[in-house]
A and B are shown apart, each in its own frame.
Chain A
Amino acid sequence: MAKKKTLPVIELKGLTKKYGMGDAEQTVLDEIDLQIEKGEFITIMGPSGCGKTTLLNILGLLDRANEGEYFLDGKSVEKMSSSRHARIRSQQIGFVFQSFNLINRLSVIENVALPLAYKGMSRVRRLKQASDSLKNFHLSEREYYMPWQLSGGQMQRVAIARALVNNPSIVLADEPTGNLDSKSSHIIMEELSDIHKRGNTIIMVTHNPDLTTYASRVIHMLDGQIASDTKTPIELVKTAPKVSLASRRPKTTRQTKKSKTKAKKK
């Protein structure tokens, strides 16, 4: 569906990022060219230090490249002010982190509502929207829990709910399952692929090759360059995870219940 769009959501031209100076200079991203269409689910793979996270940070406007161009929705972001970047982060980008990054002193619902504060929304509306977002992740009964009272998988689901609460066009996930056991990992991946099916663009960095089965496109990086870029046929994506999941997942009542509710929703 999104394939037909002419304008890519993200377009990188010769993007280069260097750290350090003089002899200590290190090229982390080496003239990366990349086009990402709306609705793609991309996983970026590669060994440690290949520049995956740096690329993700630049895509998320948390970092700036030294050279090259980055067009977001056809607009160059290089010359924008940092407050403009903040506004784009607030309106278009959702982050999911490996270490969840929930604020411990805020309750679950307040954590989810946090991005909306910077859109200038009133508190009542924020909490209502956060509550709606949590409902999608079956966390309604956990709204007033504190983050430390949740399991790792639940925390990450809260984090994803937070990333999605302001309806971003792009979701950036940096090893979202890195701190989770395989059972929770697959729940998270199910959620992400569900989001993807609703039309969001997802870019995920991961070390785990199993997770590439969810993606519509897999990019391998090596030494700051794109080593390979393979598109998985959409049909395959739709079927593949279900097959692989069925064999791997331990069948607990909770999960079957969960997939049932999901099926109902569809």
Chain B
Amino acid sequence: MNRPLIIEHIQNALHSLRLTRMRSILTTTGVAIGVASITVVLSLSGGITQVISGQVAALGDNIAVVRPGIPQRGFEGFTNPTTEQTYTTSTITEQDYEDIQAIKGVDAAAPLMIINSTLKSSSNTVPQGTIVATTPALADIAQLPMRDGQFIDSVTNKNTAVIGSRLSVDLFGTDQPIGQTFTSGGQQFTVIGVFKTINNPINFNSVDFDHAAVLSLEGGKSFHQGTAQIQQIDVRAKNKADLPGVIKNITAKLTNSHLGERDFSVLSGQEIAQPANRFFYAITAIMTLIAAISLVVGGVGIMNIMLVGVAERTREIGLRKAVGASSGNIIVQFLVESLIISSFGGLLGFVSGYGIAFLISTFLTFNPALTWQIAAIALGTSIIVGVVFGLYPALRAARKDPIESLRQYH
């Protein structure tokens, strides 16, 4: 009994939407914009996460990283992002690095000291270049491929550097930089090696090695009056089974040497995929919020247009009631109409949002993520918007007194 009636409602709704084509299209567009912006934000941020978790998977599941700062999770992490890397002194010391190396089960460990500094060659200047001071183990752990020359090792001079292929072009105008020198922080460095183009600026080290210069830890310390400012320690366990024990031991050891203060975090597996910079989360959250606001605006548009439709069709409502429509029938009639607007807008928004995300991603180094979750969120929210903002007009239609309605003239 109910099935043909639903089909009838859908046909009827499509009919009446077609009659007011212009405003139906405009209202649909309103919802589509909201859903599109949500899709863009989610697919791009999902894309970044996918890139990083893909790397973690590719590097093997025996990697853990130690980062400074109190582990922040949940809502507080979103609302109160800390700027631990950029301006504060790191809580991880060189001693911690040495302690970690001594822990049983640790295959290799590499500290990362990230320095932003201007790089000057005889011909060019790269302002705000990235310098990473580390130990020879990094090339192995992060799987940095060399194109020419060699990575820093235990015998190389502290005034030697390995640079990324793009930095090489920026700095020297050539991709054959070996033997050339550049200055930074008042010191001169000789290039002894160059990486292959990695083209992977988003990774668990938060360093774009194509644009970075890698120094020895000793070389990096000279930027900070001889002390190491370690932003991250990459740890590789001997095998996967050892990793939980290694993490436990690192946590215990560092807590002990930090006098009980838990001012660091040890992350492994998918946790590493959380980008190191918490600003990323804040930006995603704010963007999602803005997208949600535009969706609400789209919803208000639906409600507006549905209220107009209800007012215009007062007599029709009265008549439908007189010929046997129950209040429920009327509610469903108008709800179906707003649902068609919103779900069609959702579909349109999802497709165009994904298109926009792809367009944006041509300027970025990763592709937007296309997961069923994002599709479900986009379509789910649009359906929710349709119900939430269509319900009031539908209830208003159903509550109309048939006698009053039939008396009204248009």
Q: A interface vs B, CB < 8 Å?
A: 57, 60, 62-63, 82-83, 86-87, 89-91, 94-95, 97, 99, 101, 103, 105, 114-115, 117-123, 162, 166
Contact = CB atoms under 8 A, between A and B. Distances in A.
Contacts of B323: 89-90, 94-95, 114-115, 118, 162
B259 interface: no
B11 to A, nearest CB: 8
Contacts of B1: 120
B324 A101 contact: no
B106 to A, nearest CB: 72
B373 interface: no
Name, among B2, B8, B320, the residue most crowded by chain A CB atoms within 10 Å (CB to CB).
Answer: B8
Interface residues of B, number: 28
B406 interface: yes
Interface in B5-22: 5, 7-8, 11, 15-16, 19
A103 B325 CA distance: 15
A134 to B, nearest CB: 16
Interface string B398-410: 0000110010010
B5 A117 contact: yes
A86 B325 CA distance: 6
Contact of A62 (B2, B4, B11, B321): B321
Nearest to A83: B326
Contact of B403 (A63, A83, A101): A63
A162 B319 CA distance: 11
Nearest to B5: A120
Contacts of B403: 57, 62-63
Contacts of A105: 15-16, 19
A123 B322 contact: no
Contacts of B8: 117, 123
Nearest to B322: A95
B301 to A, nearest CB: 22
Contacts of A121: 4
Contacts of A90: 323-325
B2 A86 contact: no
A61 to B, nearest CB: 9
Given A83-B328, A87-B326, A118-B324, A103 B319 contact: yes
Contacts of A123: 4, 7-8, 11
24 contacts: A60-B322, A62-B402, A63-B403, A82-B326, A83-B326, A83-B328, A86-B321, A86-B327, A89-B323, A95-B322, A97-B406, A99-B409, A101-B318, A101-B319, A101-B406, A105-B19, A115-B324, A117-B8, A118-B5, A118-B323, A118-B324, A122-B4, A123-B4, A123-B11
Interface in B183-237: none
A62 B402 CA distance: 7
Given A105-B15, A162-B323, 10 more contacts: A62-B402, A62-B403, A63-B403, A86-B324, A103-B316, A105-B19, A114-B323, A115-B323, A123-B4, A123-B7
A91 B326 contact: no
A87 B324 contact: yes
Contacts of B16: 105
A29 to B, nearest CB: 14
B7 A62 contact: no
